[in-house]
Structure 1
């Protein structure tokens, strides 16, 4: 659906030339919710604005449905943008127009007849839960309600792609959750591809299927959210997770006082509910203690992660017991990683 190939972007100032995007490559499948996360200045806003060419690359290709959109004419690009909706951080509503008129506005520009555009706008306001607010003005709405209007407006022209530029960063935590739930509902009901940028791993965890971590204009980690969240590789990813309360290396605080093998177990889906530790400890007569643990949900997938210390019985060779334990967990689709031996 969306391919970004070797994208480079430069911004010139009086003092220097900033290389904002440095050889970005991404493939975003149709129907997925794809997250781009990074700190301020990492390049994520510039990157998402490449998808509808609000920012043009200095080098590289942006391919949507097989077409390199950097080569389109002005008229062709205008038509393409009807297929790409955008939701903004600060809503960007027309304060002098009602909620209904804000949603109607892009349909009027697109040349949709009066009766059809009103019907479409009312349908969308019902979808986002604002059917009772159609005649209000933006100043009469809460932040969450304003963003729902922004989402309805972005969907007006029936786009295939929805871009969300920090769509929840101006909202309180409870409202953020409701807006993320709405985006998830829209993705499931309409099959629309959603690309969002954020600085929060909690947003990624709640709504995204795949994620790209960007730092210094480069993609430093990329993959399914479950894998990136539970097995972070890059220091930037680990730092972002730690800031959201998930520190995969917290067990190291106790490492000097540990006697035995330190093992990380990661499981998701059905395995998250099974009493695996009690089973293996009885079967192999292991002494187990938990150094660190967490449970939760990544989008719709329950997960758990434990860091345990294992001491083996004296009558069984340690390597033999470890091999049996590893085989047991792998059979149960639990990732088994020796952190310290």
Structure 2
């Protein structure tokens, strides 16, 4: 119960009850409510600055996560681009040059994408610009990787051909040095043993005892193993591919062949044996090398099993003009 207040009235010389005016009471209450609301609003604004709501905190965390992921992906894309650029450089400056392939222009490797907007679905968001930039970088990397992959497939085929070429080129002597009596005659003009005229000798003659093994000088397929060519007697021809063919003549009469027509042989395989059949003066092997159907000097194809000293000695003997044995 509220207390009743009194005041002393000097005119009436008595105490009078204090009467409170309703208007003043209403104004005070109104003013109190106004200031209470104002204080609460200000406190709400301050709390919003200092303390986030759970939803706002979650939204901020998600935004921060997206920012971090975009930054991380952009760094990874840049690292991948550096790696691919290094591979492309080696592909152009080493691999393709080594295998006689035309380098791929940078314009072709780095070309973008024309036509319709490929990134329309990524537009309309706060991070659209950054997301589109990352996506575009990834698409360009994919294209560069596809081009590089195709290039390496091409290089693999060329490398296989190169490997086959190196294995197929006639690169060793058809008769081992330790089996030779001597190198009788080389490529060039020599005296014919039968009519004593000066005549061009298209091969090299290796003298050796009858039955000495004769080796295939490169990988290939036996094209002929017969005596149906004038002057060569029992002989073998091997097609090495890549335009190369070798001929081994004057093989022995008794079981001259260790191979048959159509058989695939490897460099170093024994294909026959030294003899003196056909137009021959003494047991020896007449050896010829053909490139694209033209006879060439076999002296250039012995790098596979001769030391530099042995090759120089063979070269010196092959250049001497003497009497050939066929």
Query: TM-score if structure 2 supplies the norm length?
Result: 0.20
- Greater RCO between the two (CA within 8 Å, min separation 6)? 1
Which structure has the highest helix share of the two?
2
Pair member with larger Rg: 2
Which structure has the highest strand share of the two?
1
